[in-house]
Structure 1
Amino acid sequence: MFVAVDIGNQRLKCGIFRFTREAVSIPKPEQTFASQHPAEIVEFVSRAWDERQPAQGSEQGAPLTWWIASVNRPAAGNLLDCLKRERPADPLMLLSAADLPLAVRLPAPDRVGIDRLVNALAAERMRHPDHSAVVVDLGTAITVDTISADGAFLGGAIVLGLASAARALHEFTDMLPLLNVESMACPEAIGKDTEAAMRAGLFWGTLGGIRELLLRQVESLGQTADVFITGGHAALFVEHLGNARHVPDLTLSGIALVAIYYEDRTRQGK
């Protein structure tokens, strides 16, 4: 078993995976947990891992490999420090673009967010063989990225996420309030007060931007594309995006694919 960790700008999310030889498109975590605090991630994994050891015939405290993808350097440093202190025997793998079994047709692959690349790796495994793919990730930033029909990452677009846009409206104006978008539902397009108007603009403006990017990117790809949507606000928008497939743990599954790739290479002696 191993742990995949996705370190974003606002929180860390981890998944516990099992190496398997089953024919599945992407691996799925057996357990997941999210927190803003690295110590809580380590505590959760340690407790879950130690509970499994007696059933597996291993001693409690046995090492566990961590595969980490981060777009937040301070948070990654805090997690690594915590792991070195609390679980010093555990192997740690901090992923970069060069570690992924994914073609990246850009001038500087190492400057692309690793979350975008592991998302693309997972989507590449899930798409129909003769289709390209587009991945929409709704987090602190919204990314809309493309994968070619021959499985290469081609780039995409980055725009403000829902919470980031709400914060910008509040911080760069004098009187607009800070909205809590975590509990947002689909609003009316015509707001009857300031907050309602802000919700209408945030929701429908975000949705319109995603739709336009999807339309233009699919046109640019020139063929049928499978669309996958993930991230903290994905469930809010997926029903408005046609045939988009919601994959909540897409990023963790992409990280897990890298772990399985290297496990297979190790077994083959490569």
Structure 2
Amino acid sequence: MVLTVDVGNTRIKAAVFEGSTVLESFVFEKKELEKKIKKILKKFQNCSDLVVASVGTIEKQSFLAFEKQLKLHFLSHEDVFPFVNKYATPKTLGIDRMVLAAGATLQYPNQNRLVIDAGTCITYDFIDENDQYLGGAIAPGLRLRYESLHNFTARLPLLDLEEPQSYIGNTTAQAIHSGVVNGFVYEIDGFIDEYRANFSNFIIILTGGDADFLAKRLKNTIFANSNFLLESLNQTFQYKINND
């Protein structure tokens, strides 16, 4: 069994895999790391490896308490990946984006792939049918857009995510919801349309914490999988084992 851990900007996601099958997945706060990992390992005592991908502030030392129980693996840019990295600044490419690209490459061979990860930030990552990672885009996620409207203006309130009642907001709150949510959806559809206009044989994977909320609002056909990063992390680890 393999325990995969994704340390994001906001929360930690984890999952236990038996081969390629997810036995159970978890979401928790960073301050709960040690307690939650202990609880998971107590339940799944046959875990042999712990695989970590981190873009957050938690350091490797936070996991060292578990190195007597199982092997620790911290994915980095030095590891082997199933694509050719054509990013002009490869060392600055987030390990989470590399893992998503690896998962898309392994799960959907011989086609163009666009992975959209809607979390704290929204990232777009494109891997072509020749398994070349070409790059993508980074923009603020839904929560960041709500927070920026509140933090950088004098009077706009901080709102929680909510379905807009109409594209025409007839109150300040509804205008914010329309601007944030509809603008976000139009942005994603616009990016997808641009890629579709330039590439055929195309698949789109939508993942991240806001994937389920967004999936039914997009006009384009997508594969929505909120656990795609954890699945990709497991697949990347298996690929690393087989190709080191």
User: TM over 0.5, yes or no?
Assistant: yes
Q: What pairs up with 1:104-123 in 2 under 5 angstroms? A: 104-123=85-104
Which of the two has higher C-alpha Rg? Answer: 1
Corresponding letter in the other structure for 1:127? Y
The reply to whether residue 232 of structure 1 matches residue 216 of structure 2 is: no
Rounded to whole Å, the distance in 2 between the matches of 1:134 and 1:186 is 27
Change (3 A) 1:205 1:16: same
Q: What pairs up with 1:1-270 in 2 under 5 angstroms? A: 1-18=1-18, 20=19, 27-38=20-31, 40-53=32-45, 64-72=48-56, 74-75=57-58, 77=59, 80-85=60-65, 87-89=66-68, 90-99=70-79, 100-127=81-108, 129=110, 131-181=111-161, 184-220=162-198, 222-241=199-218, 242-265=220-243
Of all paired residues, the percent bearing the same amino acid is: 27
Rounded to whole Å, the distance in 2 between the matches of 1:92 and 1:48 is 15
Rounded to whole Å, the distance in 1 between the matches of 2:75 and 2:44 is 26
> Mean Cα displacement is larger for which, 101-110 or 6-15?
101-110
1:135: how far off? Answer: 0.8
Change (3 A) 1:98 1:81: closer
CA contact (8 A) 2:83 2:131 kept: yes
Corresponding letter in the other structure for 1:95? L
Rounded to whole Å, the distance in 2 between the matches of 1:14 and 1:156 is 26
Rounded to whole Å, the distance in 1 between the matches of 2:234 and 2:91 is 19
1:34: how far off? Answer: 1.2
Q: Secondary structure, in 3 states, of the residue corresponding to 1:30?
A: strand
Q: Secondary structure, in 3 states, of the residue corresponding to 2:216?
A: helix
Number of paired residues? 241
In structure 2, runs of 5+ residues without a counterpart are none
Higher strand proportion (structure 1 or 2): 2
Change (3 A) 1:88 1:98: closer
Rounded to whole Å, the distance in 2 between the matches of 1:138 and 1:200 is 18
CA contact (8 A) 1:144 1:214 kept: no
Corresponding letter in the other structure for 2:131? G
Post-superposition CA distance 1:235-261 (Å, at most 9, x none): 111123321011111111111112212
CA contact (8 A) 1:17 1:29 kept: yes
Corresponding letter in the other structure for 1:117? M
TM-score (norm 2): 0.91
1:16: how far off? Answer: 1.0
Post-superposition CA distance 1:22-72 (Å, at most 9, x none): xxxxx342111111225x33333332323344xx6xxxxxx7422111112
Corresponding letter in the other structure for 1:230? T
Rounded to whole Å, the distance in 2 between the matches of 1:8 and 1:50 is 24
In structure 1, runs of 5+ residues without a counterpart are 21-26, 57-62
Post-superposition CA distance 1:92-117 (Å, at most 9, x none): 22211331232211222221111111
CA contact (8 A) 2:82 2:105 kept: no
